[in-house]
Amino acid sequence: MSRKSWRSVKEIRIADVARLAGVSTATVSRVLSEPGKVRQKTHDLVMEAVRRSGYIPNSTAQKLRTRRTMNVLVVAPRLTNPVFAEILRGVDDELTQSGYGIIIGNLDNRREREARYVELALSRQVDGVLLLTGYIPENGARDMRESGLPIVAMCAAIDDDKIPNVVVQDREATRQAVEYLAGLGHRRFGYVSGTPTSIIEHERFRGFREGIAAAGFGPDDFVRWEGPFVFSTGVAAAESFLTMRDRPTGIFAACDESAIGFIKRIREERIRVPQDVSVIGFDGIEFSDYTEPTLTTFRQPLHELGRAGADVLMKLIQNDMSPGDWDIRLPLTLLERDTTGPVLHKDYKSLRRSSI
Amino acid sequence: MSRKSWRSVKEIRIADVARLAGVSTATVSRVLSEPGKVRQKTHDLVMEAVRRSGYIPNSTAQKLRTRRTMNVLVVAPRLTNPVFAEILRGVDDELTQSGYGIIIGNLDNRREREARYVELALSRQVDGVLLLTGYIPENGARDMRESGLPIVAMCAAIDDDKIPNVVVQDREATRQAVEYLAGLGHRRFGYVSGTPTSIIEHERFRGFREGIAAAGFGPDDFVRWEGPFVFSTGVAAAESFLTMRDRPTGIFAACDESAIGFIKRIREERIRVPQDVSVIGFDGIEFSDYTEPTLTTFRQPLHELGRAGADVLMKLIQNDMSPGDWDIRLPLTLLERDTTGPVLHKDYKSLRRSSI
DNA sequence: CTGAAAGCGCTAACAC
DNA sequence: GTGTTAGCGCTTTCAG
């Protein structure tokens, strides 16, 4: 059984309003887009006709004529990741203010999906692109730059002098995390990675090694466990950790999810956090405040990041970038909570001594 | 310092391709949209010209001409809520398959924001609307139905005979939750609500009362704590719980977040879960498997729900609905994990006896 | 300050 | 099978 007449509502066109108001379509258009340039009386006449008819301009026709879509494409690796969802909120807030709409390009961690969004850009369905991916999506044949659209990279930097970057200070924060752990007396460290191929992971690991060096340690003083930015990566890291004889006591995880997975798993083996092992996460997702114990982590200014990135894109579209907009790097905040603490047994030697 | 020449890439139009291939624009258009109706040789000629020129049709012009936008609006209460994010994934999967794009309408729990999306529908920027809100968004002056667009309600039902509903069996599952707790020997119950004004909350609470009745109890045998669908609602409920003399032992929370908040807070007071109190959540978010103890909860088939809803909308747009599509109600799955267990002290009396 | 008219780039009748 | 042509609904010169 099929239902008919979805299109039953009669469409009001600008010509209808013009007729109703006794003016030309040009005047109606002017009243709606540049009210100042029309006599008050005409203006009122037209507005009355608009109200009476319930006229709403057909946005597709507007787009075709003005060559502006008032839409922006946001390409994100995975929307169910709270980090991206929160950035999107900031983007949305800023864009809405400027009258722009959002078209979501959710890759859902599958790179095949990006082709679709390249085509979307190429077919001019949007006026600009926000990339949370850390790379330029491509098509097989072409990449997104060929659209000629303004593009802004957020969250993960892209090395292209036409693309402004709006990111957080990953590297600095991660370095600081290690120094924080070292300051608590930790001497052996662990690094739970994020998706190994991602730029973000790369930056964080770089910051980690910088921190290790800055605290006077070397490559032999830490272990690294690899895996994507998910809970199970932390669990897998914990499994490996549990098999070690000379376990690290200061663990940094490149995202909160894996920090939480790690902690959950080792606590099942009656390892105490933070008395036996300190763990520090990254992101500051809401859930990190509801774990046991609550997670020490770096909070990313996600909402602000979203707004800043959208703001830069707006400037790019409107052609009024200033040099200071080209590279924005927002600071993180250390949330000192309950999964980090001073080392009780300073190192392997003293551990042996105390247990004799 | 402003950058110029974003539009430097020269736009190729269908006429360019036609000239290049030595055919008319109509033929180019045909090759691209109905290849069967063109001679093989012409087809190849055109495709070669398309390839050489890198032509991509201007989608705005197509939309204007065909009066189809190939976009769908999805209005969601809050995208950072993992439940909606996951539904959106399902929607995306289905819509992508049909060649449709998604325009996100994220209300971010602020009803003022819906006006924008009503206008978007009214100005025909989309071919259909998916509502995760449980109500029809409005504008002050008009509501979304006046767009005449096909609308499907997902997740929360809307009572309108033009709007198909695609939902989960909230009520049945909640009823089952109570019966499950009763089956474990619980005699006093607690209900941690979700946003009191929402349809979903209403359905779940209704199921809860049905369950209470079915298990042979009455309104005096449970307490209800109100609050939105967030962690802190559970915390607040726990505070109230802690002040009670005659505490319930079987708690149902209308979402996992509040279940988790509740458990966290009472464990801080050394109340044991599930030995002293059993808690059962709702949703089955990923986190619920990483809490301590892991949360017993009902898993919603969110991805499937998203797909099903999008599928119904596609059918509506293409005018081939069958009656069975009008109301879809997907079942939930009980995940029996570690926050529920048998009552140790059956009731207040036996509790007194055993502590003497 | 207002109107007439020319398209924006494409598709779909309708002819041939 | 293919070409010609008339719009889709709007904005924006250009005249007046």
Residues on chain A touching B59 (C-beta within 8 angstroms): 120, 123-125
Is A345 a member of any domain? no
Q: Is the pTM of this model over 0.85?
A: yes
Q: Within this chain, do residues A212 and A272 fall inside the same structural domain, yes or no?
A: yes
Q: Within this chain, do residues B77 and B127 fall inside the same structural domain, yes or no?
A: yes
Q: Do A80 and B89 touch (CB under 8 A)?
A: yes
Q: Within this chain, do residues A139 and A256 fall inside the same structural domain, yes or no?
A: no
How many residues does this entry show for chain B?
356
Interface probe, candidates B10, B91, B104, chain A, greatest A C-beta count within 10 A: B104
Tell me which of B65, B81, B106 is where a domain ends.
B65
Q: Within this chain, do residues A14 and A104 fall inside the same structural domain, yes or no?
A: no
Tell me which of A11, A39, A65 is where a domain ends.
A65
- Report how many domains make up chain B: 3
pLDDT 10s digits, B278-293: 999 999 999 999 999 9
Only one residue has tokens 């997104």, namely: A144
Q: Is the pLDDT of residue B48 over 70?
A: yes
Q: Within this chain, do residues B162 and B311 fall inside the same structural domain, yes or no?
A: yes
The bases of strand D with some atom under 7 A from any protein CB are 1-5, 7-13
Given this model, what pLDDT does residue A177 score? 98
Given this model, what pLDDT does residue B4 score? 36
What percentage of chain B exceeds 70 in pLDDT?
Answer: 94
Q: Within this chain, do residues A191 and A159 fall inside the same structural domain, yes or no?
A: no
Phi-psi region of A122 (alpha: psi -120 to 50; beta: other; left: phi over 0): alpha
Q: Within this chain, do residues A50 and A74 fall inside the same structural domain, yes or no?
A: no
Q: Within this chain, do residues A23 and A134 fall inside the same structural domain, yes or no?
A: no
Average pLDDT, chain A: 93
B54, B104, B319: residue with CB nearest A3: B319
Per the CB < 8 A criterion, the answer to whether B222 and B193 are in contact is no
Given this model, what pLDDT does residue A345 score? 63
Residue range B89-109: mean pLDDT, rounded: 95
What's the CATH code of the domain at B113? 3.40.50.2300
Q: Within this chain, do residues B157 and B183 fall inside the same structural domain, yes or no?
A: no
Is A209 a member of any domain? yes
| Domain around B258 | 170-299
Amino acid B141 CA to nucleotide C12 C1' distance, rounded Å: 37
Low-confidence ranges of chain A (pLDDT < 50): 1-8, 346-356
Given this model, what pLDDT does residue A356 score? 31
Q: A301: Cβ–Cβ under 8 A, 6 or more apart, which residues? A: A168, A330, A331, A332, A333
What's the CATH code of the domain at A11? 1.10.260.40
Residues on chain A touching B106 (C-beta within 8 angstroms): 88-89, 92
Is A151 a member of any domain? yes
Is A36 a member of any domain? yes
Amino acid B310 CA to nucleotide D4 C1' distance, rounded Å: 40
Average pLDDT, chain B: 93
- Using DSSP's 3-state secondary structure scheme, residue A222 falls into strand
Q: Is the pLDDT of residue B1 over 50?
A: no
Is B322 a member of any domain? yes
pLDDT 10s digits, B143-185: 999 999 999 999 999 999 999 999 999 999 999 999 999 999 9
Is A132 a member of any domain? yes
Q: Within this chain, do residues A159 and A55 fall inside the same structural domain, yes or no?
A: no
Amino acid in the structure at residue A19: R
Q: Within this chain, do residues B163 and B177 fall inside the same structural domain, yes or no?
A: no
Residues 218-247 (B) with a CB less than 8 A from some CB of A: 231
- For chain A, what is the radius of gyration of the CA atoms? 27
Is A158 a member of any domain? yes
Q: Which residue of A has its CA nearest to B324?
A: A1
Q: Within this chain, do residues B186 and B132 fall inside the same structural domain, yes or no?
A: no
Neighbours of A236 (CB within 10 A): 19
Residue range B251-270: mean pLDDT, rounded: 98
Given this model, what pLDDT does residue B344 score? 84
B123 touches chain A (CB under 8 A): yes
Given this model, what pLDDT does residue B9 score? 55
Is A350 a member of any domain? no
